Structure formats: structure tokens, C-alpha cells
Amino acid sequence: MAIWERVKEHWITVTMYLVFSLFFLSACLVSVNTYGAIAQAQRDISLENPVIGADIVPHGDVNISFSVQLHNPSRYTLHVFTLSWYAKLVNASSTNDRVIPVGEDYSGPTHYLEVPAKTTIDYTFWTVVSDPAILEKLNGFINYSKGLGTDYTLETLPYEHSFSVILMIGEFDHDYVREGYLNSLVTVELGYSSVEGIL
């Protein structure tokens, strides 16, 4: 009762004190909610349904394609920082041309590539291999494999695809120099390799 009497006597200062405390308590709750949402986004943002393809097109060229879905179930828009796709054929028997590149694409930091909240985006990459030098190397690999008993065509060659994307979550700052963990907190790195699967 004595405490209640004192509270009534100083009701203005007590009210200001309680408002001050409630303001920071609500700031704590909002910040923790944000932290939890970011942690869930880190866990749930994923690559799905990778599809690789190779088709013969007119003039005997080959169209190498790759598509993958980026699933964003979080409440934040993701900003693409870098996006890259690389396709190659590994010819272990050759000393000069061990890796035959057949397709690549790269996109650096840009404001235009975004993944809206709660959406799934399809990324598709394709390239038409028409360079006679590269087609000669591919046909050389086919002929060499035939000698070893394996029949390949330009469509069925074991092309290796690798895809990687770095995304920034929402509008949070991510350019800290000393506190690298703060940048990592709001960065999502995803990758796919046809050899290792979704990374």
C-alpha cells in the first residue's frame, strides 16, 4: 500500500518510466522477431528441380540448357548479388583440352535482379554451341568413347553444369568491414553441381 501511495504521488514520473521501459521491451520483441525470420529464411531458401538438357538444333549445332527454381518462402525480398552458370565437358584422356567449356553466364551486383517474398523464380540458361573448334573437340570425345565401347551423341555427352547464386536478404546493411558475421547473417549462398547435387 505504501508503494501504491508513492506511485500515486509521483504518477507522472512513474508513467514516463513505464513508457520508457515498454518502448525498449517492444523494440526487443520486434528485433527478436526479425532475427528469427532471418534465421528461418536462411534455412528455408533453397534451389529446387534442377534440369539439364542438350538438344540438336539446325546446322548440327547443340543447344546446352540448364534450369533451376529458386524458392523463397521468407517475408523478405532477396536481392541477387551474383549469379553464375558454367557448363563444361571433362575430357580426362586429353592432355591439352582436359576441360571443354560449352556455356557460361555471369551476372554481377545489380538492382534489377530480385526474388520477391514468398515466390519461386525459374532461372533458365542456354547456349548454342556452334563454334567449329569446340564441336570438333566434342566429336573427338564421342569417337574416342566409341573406341572404348561407350556410345555418346552430342545430346547424351556427360556435360557438367555448375550454378551458384549469392543473395542478400531484404534491405539490411551488409557492408561491414570488421564485423563479417553481420554480412554473413543476411547473405544466402546457394549452389548446384551436376556432379555433387544441390550444395
Partner 1 sequence: MAVISAPPIAFMTFDFMFPNISTPSLEKNLMVVFLLSILTAIPSGYFTRRTDLAMVTVFLYTAVGYVLAVALYSAPYTIFDLEQVLPAFYYAMFFRFTIILLFLFILGGFIGTVFGQMVRDMIRREETALTFKNDDKS
- Which residues form the interface with partner 1 (CB under 8 A)? 6, 10, 13, 17-18, 20-22, 24-25, 27-28, 30-32, 34-36, 38-40, 42-43, 172-174, 176, 181-182, 184-186
* Nearest approach, Cβ of residue 98 and partner 1 (Å): 35
What amino acid is encoded at 143 in this protein? N
* Nearest approach, Cβ of residue 189 and partner 1 (Å): 14
The residue among 21 and 150 lying less far from partner 1, judged by its C-beta, is: 21
* Nearest approach, Cβ of residue 66 and partner 1 (Å): 30
Give the C-alpha separation, 95 to 98, whole Å.
Answer: 6
What amino acid is encoded at 151 in this protein? D
CA 164, 166, 167: angle at the middle one, nearest 5? 135
Cα 111 off chain centre by:
16
Q: In the Cβ-directed half-sphere of 158, how many Cα atoms lie within 13 Å?
A: 11
* Nearest approach, Cβ of residue 26 and partner 1 (Å): 9
The residue among 81 and 123 lying less far from partner 1, judged by its C-beta, is: 81
The residue among 122 and 189 lying less far from partner 1, judged by its C-beta, is: 189
* Nearest approach, Cβ of residue 187 and partner 1 (Å): 11
Q: Which residues of 167-177 are buried (b: 16+ CB within 10 A; e: fewer)?
A: bbbbeeebeee
The residue among 143 and 184 lying less far from partner 1, judged by its C-beta, is: 184
Take residue 149 and report the three cell numbers written for it.
565401347
Cα 105 off chain centre by:
14
* Nearest approach, Cβ of residue 80 and partner 1 (Å): 19
Neighbours of 83 (CB within 10 A): 19
Cα 44 off chain centre by:
12
The residue among 16 and 51 lying less far from partner 1, judged by its C-beta, is: 16
